[in-house]
Structure 1
Amino acid sequence: MTLFLQNARLIDPERLTETPGNLLIEAGRIVALGDIAVPEGAEVIDCAGKCLAPGIVDLGVKIGEPGERHKESFRTAGRAAAAGGVTTVIARPDTLPAIDTPESLEFATRRAAEAPVRIRHMAALTKGRDGREMTEIGFLMDAGAVAFTDAEAVTTDAKVLSRAFTYARALGAMVVGHPQEPGLSHGAAVTSGKFASLRGLPGVSPMAERIGLERDLALVEMTGVRYHADQITSAASLPALARAKAAGLDVTAGVSIHHLTLNEFDVGEYRTFFKMTPPLRSEEDRLAAVQAVADGLIDVICSMHTPADEESKRLPFEQAASGAVGLETLLPAALRLYHAGALSLPQLFRAMALNPAKRLGLAQGRLAEGAPADLVLFDPDAPFVLDRFTLHSKSKNTPFDGTRMEGKVLATFVAGVQVYPHNEK
């Protein structure tokens, strides 16, 4: 099928440009774009001057299969992703049981086929994510694993971790770490400080993140492994990251959209939908993270989509589950940074689409000839009030419930096929 998208505002994260133009799709790929004429026989879609960008590549999404399908299934996560302009989901292995064998990975891959978007999987770095014995990294790569991580289960044994890093380096695998010092962060619910003390909540210093990052970076320097820090959320961690990059280490870093748009005071009167891992930081840390994204020091913006059922959130703050859903709210939340003048649209899509795709060796994330036609058409200025019960995710634990937001997805395309239609409501 030949599809012609005309009168679009083309957002190019590679060239960091916004230009008016058209885009032509054939056989699931972009074949031409810019000031081009409509070919004979093509299906035409008028974009009406709205933004057309590469589909988002969301690195670090939790899906509840296997084991927690009541929180999120591949089908509901896929629908939520399509509605949010996410065309490629990179799923975490923190399932029950963990995705730590080729058999469990193949099961998840088969189940993911029912989703309307692309879903790729990370596998566990250690068996059971318990930090004692590395997984069969080579076999898991053969089965389709795009990276290896124990997610929030931080390995405390540096010798085990160094061996896993060395093995991953030999196979060319990428490791995704969660920079935290587990002893300091154990049992913490918020970031330490005056607010935590006034609320009587157990806190953790942002230094726990820096200590964990410094440990991981030392092991990266020792082994030469490709490494990605899933979330860098504090200003104290940024100099270590900058030094590692300046030294030529193969290191990148991400940050969740919640840590870029919310701060510790949003917890307010013990609002459990704002309980995250790591916890929300100070406004100074938030601004430092935003600037790091603008400067390219932090490479990736992700949703860190973590579904949690009502029962696990309707608990005292200290006992409530951490995390929030974010597949559908990633783009409108990110557009807060655009409307505030902190980041341009090409910068946003560099961090949400181009950089995660490049880091994982995927062809997606580009608005260029020959690239897969995974696209999102959106109106960055359309206002709406978010109602969490309208979300496609099974779990509704979003911190943005009742929030006035700007930016609506009008259409999502995967390989040139429209998987999310324009919604008039």
Structure 2
Amino acid sequence: MMTTLLFKQVQIVEADQVVTRDVLVTDDTITAVAPQLDVTADRVIQATGQLLTPGLVDIHGHFREPGFEYKETIATGSRAAARGGFTTVAAMPNLNPVPATLSAFETVQARNQASGVVHIAQYGAISEGLTADEIGDLPALAAAGAIAFTNDGKGVQTAATMLDAMTAAAKVNRPLVAHVEDESLVKGGVMNLGARSAELGLPGINPLAESAQLARDLMLAQATGVHYHVAHLSTKESVALVRLAKQNGIHVTAEVSPHHLLLDETDITGDDALFKMNPPLRAPADRVAVIAGLLDGTIDMVATDHAPHSVAEKERSFIGAAFGITGIETSFQLLYTHLVKPGIATLAQLLTWMNAAPIDAFRLDAPKRVAVGERADLALFDLETPYQINAQDFLSKGVNTPFIGEVVYGQTQLTLVAGKIAYQAEGEL
């Protein structure tokens, strides 16, 4: 028996313009979009003035299962994603066991299917333990459904290993995603090496740890023809390198995370590990550069790098605390508030960075429009009513973010995944 849901007078983005429409969903598909629909539906949502978008896509999230369920599970992480307006998440392989073998990968895939309330695309690991010099069976992982390969959390330390990985990824037509970090330049650092680390007396991470390895990888990508994707880019030098690589025809895409767009090392005023993340918050000039790179197309997309940890792991000093920030429930809202409302970016740009760009780059099966015939992966946002980010509202197990207490706009009201409600805010809709 068919079920129908009618959104009345929502705002949608069509051809970069915001227009008012009625939208009818029948089962898992959008079946009508018009200025006015006079139809009977099983449920009618009077959403005048609210924004209805294709579901957001996060190409970089950590759901921690299997191996680290005390931080997050597929169930809690995917519910948190739905609360953030995301309907598709690409899950990283920093797990135990690491999905570098076919059996480990298939186990994670099965868990994703069983426990996830959003679509979960799974990364395969480049090598065993994320650190081995010998790459895994990437063709087998690709055949099993790996959307791309990465050792996220660890930089690939040897050029020979990266060359082998890129060659194998290119043969199976999958992106190679890099956490660029030369460990020989980290030297026990816990934040960006600079004036603020000196003031706080904390060991710094040289920004060259990112850009030097990136320069190496771009040359290898040029040689192999692989689609090379840079995770959580954070320095002005990295932006310049990616810009130059694109100008020279290297197949490279890049992502930036909300915290690197909105924060820098000057926001760290004490030994507060909620500001400890990897890559670390950089200098103000780096923040300016990544914003500029996003606006001019050097950086293709926004990814949350949602990295939940237990409270105990973040209550310590910078020295000893875990790297990482949770973000899948707050990313759209923070960026809408700080980039779109002040006029730095348009709403259409934000939706491109958080929906169309990752879909296109990674060839994902996900809708990019609110249009007839598209799968009903949808998110409804209230752009007008301010609300405060509160830890007690999180559906993620992780509350490790310095944005708690901030007032933002764009609270998610409803998220549909293939026409089914994956998240609904409290109160009447």
Instruction: Identify the TM-score tier after normalising by the shorter chain.
Output: over 0.9
- Unaligned ranges ≥5, structure 2: none
- Asked if the contact 1:131–1:154 (Cα under 8 Å) also holds between the matched residues in 2, the reply is no
CA distance in 2, matches of 1:198, 1:312: 24
What whole-Å deviation, never above 9, does each CA across 1:130-173 have from its counterpart, x for those lacking one? 14111111111121111100002111111121011111111111
Query: Counterpart amino acid of 1:345?
Result: L
Residue of structure 1 in register with 2:318 after alignment: 317
Residue of structure 2 in register with 1:341 after alignment: 343
SS of residue matched to 1:382:
coil
CA distance in 1, matches of 2:95, 2:143: 20
Residue of structure 2 in register with 1:63 after alignment: 63
CA distance in 1, matches of 2:5, 2:217: 46
CA distance in 1, matches of 2:189, 2:367: 36
Residue of structure 2 in register with 1:146 after alignment: 147
What whole-Å deviation, never above 9, does each CA across 1:193-252 have from its counterpart, x for those lacking one? 111111111112323322121111100001011111011111121221112112222210
1:377-392 pair list within 5 angstroms: 377-392=380-395
CA distance in 2, matches of 1:236, 1:311: 35
SS of residue matched to 1:128:
helix
- Identify the range of structure 1 (87-96 vs 237-246) with the bigger mean alpha-carbon deviation: 237-246
- Asked if the contact 1:355–1:365 (Cα under 8 Å) also holds between the matched residues in 2, the reply is no
Once the two structures are TM-superposed, the CA of residue 179 in structure 1 deviates from its matched residue by: 2.1
- Identify the range of structure 1 (228-237 vs 252-261) with the bigger mean alpha-carbon deviation: 228-237
Residue of structure 2 in register with 1:404 after alignment: 407
Residue of structure 2 in register with 1:286 after alignment: 287
CA distance in 2, matches of 1:411, 1:40: 20
Residue of structure 2 in register with 1:220 after alignment: 221
SS of residue matched to 1:70:
coil
- Identify the range of structure 1 (46-55 vs 25-34) with the bigger mean alpha-carbon deviation: 25-34
Query: Counterpart amino acid of 2:368?
Result: R
Query: Counterpart amino acid of 1:393?
Result: S
Residue of structure 1 in register with 2:194 after alignment: 193
Once the two structures are TM-superposed, the CA of residue 73 in structure 1 deviates from its matched residue by: 0.5
SS of residue matched to 2:415:
strand
Query: Counterpart amino acid of 2:330?
Result: T
Residue of structure 2 in register with 1:97 after alignment: 97
SS of residue matched to 2:88:
strand
- Asked if the contact 2:5–2:41 (Cα under 8 Å) also holds between the matched residues in 1, the reply is no
- Asked if the contact 2:309–2:398 (Cα under 8 Å) also holds between the matched residues in 1, the reply is yes
CA distance in 2, matches of 1:134, 1:419: 37
TM-score (norm 1): 0.95
Once the two structures are TM-superposed, the CA of residue 187 in structure 1 deviates from its matched residue by: 1.6
Residue of structure 1 in register with 2:78 after alignment: 78
Once the two structures are TM-superposed, the CA of residue 115 in structure 1 deviates from its matched residue by: 2.0
CA distance in 2, matches of 1:325, 1:41: 38
- Asked if the contact 2:54–2:377 (Cα under 8 Å) also holds between the matched residues in 1, the reply is yes
- Asked if the contact 2:376–2:419 (Cα under 8 Å) also holds between the matched residues in 1, the reply is yes
CA distance in 2, matches of 1:130, 1:374: 36
CA distance in 1, matches of 2:361, 2:373: 19
Q: How many equivalent residue pairs?
A: 423
CA distance in 1, matches of 2:186, 2:340: 32
Residue of structure 1 in register with 2:268 after alignment: 267
- Asked if the contact 2:154–2:181 (Cα under 8 Å) also holds between the matched residues in 1, the reply is no
- Asked if the contact 1:259–1:280 (Cα under 8 Å) also holds between the matched residues in 2, the reply is yes
- Asked if the contact 1:57–1:365 (Cα under 8 Å) also holds between the matched residues in 2, the reply is no
Residue of structure 1 in register with 2:183 after alignment: 182
Once the two structures are TM-superposed, the CA of residue 36 in structure 1 deviates from its matched residue by: 4.9
SS of residue matched to 1:8:
strand
- Asked if the contact 2:28–2:420 (Cα under 8 Å) also holds between the matched residues in 1, the reply is yes
- Asked if the contact 2:5–2:44 (Cα under 8 Å) also holds between the matched residues in 1, the reply is yes
CA distance in 2, matches of 1:423, 1:287: 37
- Asked if the contact 1:262–1:280 (Cα under 8 Å) also holds between the matched residues in 2, the reply is yes
SS of residue matched to 1:381:
coil
CA distance in 2, matches of 1:421, 1:314: 31
CA distance in 1, matches of 2:407, 2:396: 20
- Asked if the contact 1:74–1:115 (Cα under 8 Å) also holds between the matched residues in 2, the reply is yes
Q: Answer yes or no: is 1:416 the counterpart of 2:419.
A: yes
What whole-Å deviation, never above 9, does each CA across 1:338-389 have from its counterpart, x for those lacking one? 1222111111110011111111211324113332211110012321222213
Query: Counterpart amino acid of 2:4?
Result: T
User: Sequence identity, in percent?
Assistant: 34
Query: Counterpart amino acid of 1:23?
Result: V
Residue of structure 2 in register with 1:298 after alignment: 299
CA 1:225–1:39 in 2, change beyond 3 Å: closer, same or farther? same
Query: Counterpart amino acid of 2:50?
Result: K
Residue of structure 1 in register with 2:33 after alignment: 33
- Asked if the contact 2:234–2:290 (Cα under 8 Å) also holds between the matched residues in 1, the reply is yes
Q: Residue 3 of structure 1: which of 2, 5, 20 is its match?
A: 5
CA distance in 2, matches of 1:149, 1:38: 49
- Identify the range of structure 1 (362-371 vs 64-73) with the bigger mean alpha-carbon deviation: 362-371
CA distance in 1, matches of 2:267, 2:187: 22
- Unaligned ranges ≥5, structure 1: none
Query: Counterpart amino acid of 1:141?
Result: A
- Asked if the contact 2:385–2:410 (Cα under 8 Å) also holds between the matched residues in 1, the reply is yes
CA distance in 1, matches of 2:189, 2:341: 33
Residue of structure 2 in register with 1:53 after alignment: 53
- Asked if the contact 2:272–2:317 (Cα under 8 Å) also holds between the matched residues in 1, the reply is no
